[in-house]
């Protein structure tokens, strides 16, 4: 079984990741197996004292803030630069569509900076 489609759980068994619910133990293990350095999936509901301590660490908070910034930027690109729907076909077309949207965004930011100087 490929490691990208399965997760090694605490009991040592391989399980598929739960894609519908992001902050789960399975998905944290999956990210760990893939080599993610900072896993910043906050846990909802009841949290143990150990989990609360983990979520209050400086690195966790810093990574959560960065993640929130990225989500905001993605939302901005979708609203203002037409990235909510790709009109090209295939993976190369999708890459081209996203690349052109990001270039348009960067040019907009550059024009804002140069006009205020």
3-state DSSP assignment of residue 8: strand
* 59 falls within a domain: yes
Q: Give residue 3's pLDDT.
A: 40
Residues 6+ apart with CB under 8 A from 55: 42, 43, 47, 61
Q: Give residue 95's pLDDT.
A: 92
Q: Under a CB-based contact definition with an 8 Å cutoff, are residues 9 and 32 in contact? A: no
Q: Which domain holds residue 11?
A: 1-36
* 10 falls within a domain: yes
* 53 falls within a domain: yes
* 74 falls within a domain: yes
Q: Give residue 49's pLDDT.
A: 93
105 with 75, same domain? no
How many domains does one find in the chain? 3
Phi-psi category of 8—alpha, beta or left, where left has phi over 0 and alpha has psi -120 to 50?
A: beta
Place of tokens 């489609």: 5
d(CA 117, CA 111): 10
Encode the chain (117 residues) as per-residue pLDDT tens digits.
334 444 444 444 445 555 555 667 788 888 889 888 888 888 778 888 998 998 899 998 998 888 888 888 888 888 888 888 888 899 999 999 989 988 998 998 899 888 766
> pTM to 2 decimals?
0.55
């Amino acid at each position: 079984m490929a490691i990208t489609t399965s997760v090694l759980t605490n009991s040592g068994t391989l399980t598929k990741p739960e894609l519908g619910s992001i902050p789960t133990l399975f998905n944290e293990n999956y990210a760990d197996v893939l080599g993610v350095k900072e896993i910043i999936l906050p846990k909802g509901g009841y949290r143990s004292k150990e989990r609360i301590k983990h979520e209050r660490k400086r690195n966790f908070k810093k990574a959560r803030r960065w993640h929130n910034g990225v989500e905001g930027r993605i939302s901005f690109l979708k609203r203002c630069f037409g990235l909510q729907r790709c009109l090209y076909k295939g993976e190369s077309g999708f890459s081209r569509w996203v690349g052109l949207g990001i270039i348009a965004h960067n040019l907009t930011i550059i024009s804002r900076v140069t006009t205020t100087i």
